[in-house]
Amino acid sequence: MSKIVSMDTALDLIRDGAVVGTSGFMIAGTPESVFRAMGERYAQTGHPRDLTCVFCASQGNAEGQGYDHLAQDGMIAKIIGGHFGLTPKLGKYMAENKCQAYNYPLGVVAGIFRAAIQQRPGELTKVGLKTFVDPRLEGGKINAVTTEDLVKVVEFEGEEWLWYPTPKLDVAIIRGTTGDEDGNITIEHEPVNLEMRTIAMAVKACGGKVIVQVEQVVDYGSIDTRLIKIPGIYVDAIVVAAAENHMQTNGSFYNPAYSGEIRVPVDSLPPLPMGERKIIARRAAMELVPHAVTNLGIGMPEGVAAVAAEEGLEGMVLTTEAGTIGGIPAGGGDFGVTTNPDCVLDEPYQFDFYDGGGLDVAFLGLAQMDAQGNVNVSKFGPKIAGCGGFINITQNAKKVVYCGTFTAGGLKVGVEDGRLLIHQEGKVKKLIPAVEQITFSGQYAVEKGQHAGGLAHHRAGGL
């Protein structure tokens, strides 16, 4: 019997109260057609309801796609996620206490999917110690109705670890490029592998059902077996997406240089215009050494690659938490993917590398920093962005460089005669007595002997 089915047939596999694992990094790898259809079915029938949703990265585009389709009263009962910044409706849903909500480090969520494959009771790791995920602080709980401590502190051979329990997964909703009648899936047009295969294996190990959204379907035997990334034994239902619901990224409908199908000539990145972003990126680039394995965060740190290219620093290897190695990481709506990648790993393997200290240096932004060296990028008043891969990266990179201005919200600067001039400070101060939430622990970094530094614009002076 063919596994290529209608959307209604696929949605029948999602029962009330199901624990659902989903793939996606912003729009890349996000099964938008299935999310949209789930939201429409719930609006019409009230089912499926009371779902527990488990995911690594934010799956949406800040314009109503992805998980925002599911942010309907009663549809979601619990969230265990790594990031929520691109799903404002879901963020509001959680902030209004309409479901229980936990924020784990992105790499830890990938780890609990793998724990489910092996039927292990949980993921044991040091990632998250002394941050808001530690149960001695907040335990990753992000609203008032979330009261149970899922994360536990465990002592093993004289050292402290955090233990994150493994959920029993009932349904996977993931994405690929091509599927055949037997359920075999390729991902040749996807710019990142993410955790698609891992989630499918985890759900099958738990006795659940796997739904895959694809661009196209073919007869069994049509696919080169070397291209199959998710074998049919892991898959229960394949649905074909409309093209507009299968964008490669939020910023690109389809770019073969992102998926490694072609390489485009890139002599150099366009130079950044002079201003505070270039000044900060230029200072940050001084922390690079030849052949450094590097991670660049979104926003201000994106300029480091441009400045390094402009000034002739060669040999650094840029990576993204979504799994790319080499090439030129994209920014904005394409963040997480890479032009001309040398290699694209499954996301869980990338975090194995990060957690093992593989990064020589990480350049990341900051929203708040305090006198104890703590940094917050995850929660500001009622706004819940989530930590994403920030905790994995910052706790395990050999050096961490924070890039940002002292203030935000209306900051106006100028550059004249080689000097930076502050015409108007921003309304929001970033350097404060105590951060709202500890996403990076200064105390833990000192205990580990980690080298970390913050970079911000000068009040005035040479560039």
Q: Which of the residues are catalytic? A: 321
* Residue 421 parent element (H or E): strand 419-424
Helix (H) or strand (E) holding 55: strand 51-55
Separation CA 332–CA 354 (nearest Å)? 23
Cβ neighbours of 313 (radius 10 Å): 17
DSSP secondary structure of 183-237: --EE-TT-S--TTHHHHHHHHHHTT-EEEEEESEEE-TT-S-GGGEEE-GGG-SE
Q: Are strands 237-240 and 209-214 parallel, antiparallel or unpaired?
A: parallel
Q: Is 195 exposed, middle or buried (0-12, 13-18, 19+ CB in 10 A)?
A: buried
As a whole number of angstroms, the distance between CA 189 and CA 93 comes to: 33
β-bridge mates for residue 419, sequence order: 416, 462
Do the beta carbons of residue 408 and residue 430 sit within 8 Å? Answer: yes
How far, in Å, CA of 86 to CA of 184, rounded? Answer: 30
CA dist 148 → 40, 51, 151, 303, 322 (Å): 31, 17, 9, 41, 30
> From CA 452, how far away is CA 51, in angstroms rounded?
40
Instruction: Label the pairing between strands 328-329 and 293-296.
Output: unpaired
Structure tokens, 382: 């009622």
96 burial level (CB within 10 Å; 0-12, 13-18, 19+): middle
Q: Which residues contact 257 (CB under 8 A, 6 or more apart)?
A: 263, 264, 339, 340
Q: Are 199 and 21 in contact (CB under 8 A)?
A: yes
CA distance 282 to 420: 13
Q: At what angle do helices 106-117 and 347-355 cross, to 10 degrees?
A: 110
> Across the chain, how many H-helices and E-strands are there?
10, 31
Would you say 120 and 112 are in contact if contact means Cβ atoms under 8 Å apart? no
